[in-house]
Amino acid sequence: MSRSGITKTDVQTARLSLIARGENPSIDAVRIELGNTGSKSTIHRLMRELDATEGERSDTLIDEELNSLVARLAHRLKGQAQEHVDAAQARLDAEKKELQDALQATQRQLADLIERHAAQTTKLGTQTATLLGTQQDLQKEQKDNARLSQAALDTASRLHDKDRQIDALKAQHLQAHTQCALLEERLHNAQHERQKLQERLTEREQQNRVLELILIKTEVALEHARSGQPAPAPDQD
């Protein structure tokens, strides 16, 4: 529904806006620019009056009005563009913080896994040393049994006890190996997660290098544990 009471200023502003955009300021275009308000006859009359008035104006005054309109439009566009930039920056900051929080959480989980793995490795080394010592004791007992035939029954009883100890230690040894395998799998998953975060947060490259060094030391310890050799002493930073 058209509203009444449009003024010559309204028509002039609408027409200048169309001209600034490079559009033809026809009666229909001016009416659309006014929000489909005003009758065409009123708009035509006001445009004729404006034409009569503007015919007396100098080109300098028209240029000033156009420049003023363009300046207002440019200011409005600049404000809208700044709003988009601010919104995009806020989203980027939020995403960056989320990634940093995820990296810190992964680092804490990795540190916990490394600590637990070190404890299991120490326990495995102790059990392995005990098993080797027990096996050496068994060999000695077997040699003594060959020389001490008079104590055959006592030695057989002792050997039976040693066998049970060996079985128990072997069971513990197997359990420790299983726990180490689970820890290795978790470490692998942690490595995979760390690599993904590395791709998204290039600024954390140096921290990732530190993590890689820790993982390399852990793998060396695991390799020594599997080969039965004592793990090397950790570097003193």
What's the CA angle centered on 194, arms 106 and 215, to 5 degrees?
90
Tens digit of each residue's pLDDT (9 = 90 or more) over 156-211: 888 888 889 989 989 998 888 888 788 888 888 888 887 777 677 777 777 677 77
Q: Residue 30's pLDDT band (boundaries 50, 70, 90)? A: very high
**The pLDDT of residue 61 is above 80:** no
pLDDT band at 234 (very low <50, low <70, confident <90, very high): low
- The two three-digit tokens of residue 189, written as one number: 């998953």
Cα–Cα distances (Å) from 232 to 112, 148, 218, in that order, read 21, 42, 11
Cα distance between residue 54 and residue 46, in whole Å: 12
1 confidence band (pLDDT: 50, 70, 90): very low
Q: Which residue has the higher pLDDT, 232 or 98?
A: 98
- Is pLDDT above 50 for 83? yes
Q: Residue 104 has what pLDDT?
A: 92
Among 64-68, 128-132, 177-181, the minimum mean pLDDT is found in 64-68
Cα of first residue to Cα of last residue in the chain, in angstroms, is: 81
Residue 60 has pLDDT above 70, yes or no: no
Helix axes 8-20, 40-54, angle to 10 degrees: 80
pLDDT at 27 over 70: yes
Q: Scanning the structure block, which residue is given the tokens 């620019």?
A: 33
Q: What share of the chain is helix, strand, coil (3-state, %, to 5)?
A: 85, 0, 15
CA distance 100 to 91: 14
User: Mind listing the pLDDT tens digit for each residue in 41-50?
Assistant: 999 999 999 8
Model confidence at 90, in pLDDT bands (50, 70, 90)? very high
Average pLDDT over residues 98-107: 92
User: For the whole model, what pTM was predicted?
Assistant: 0.27
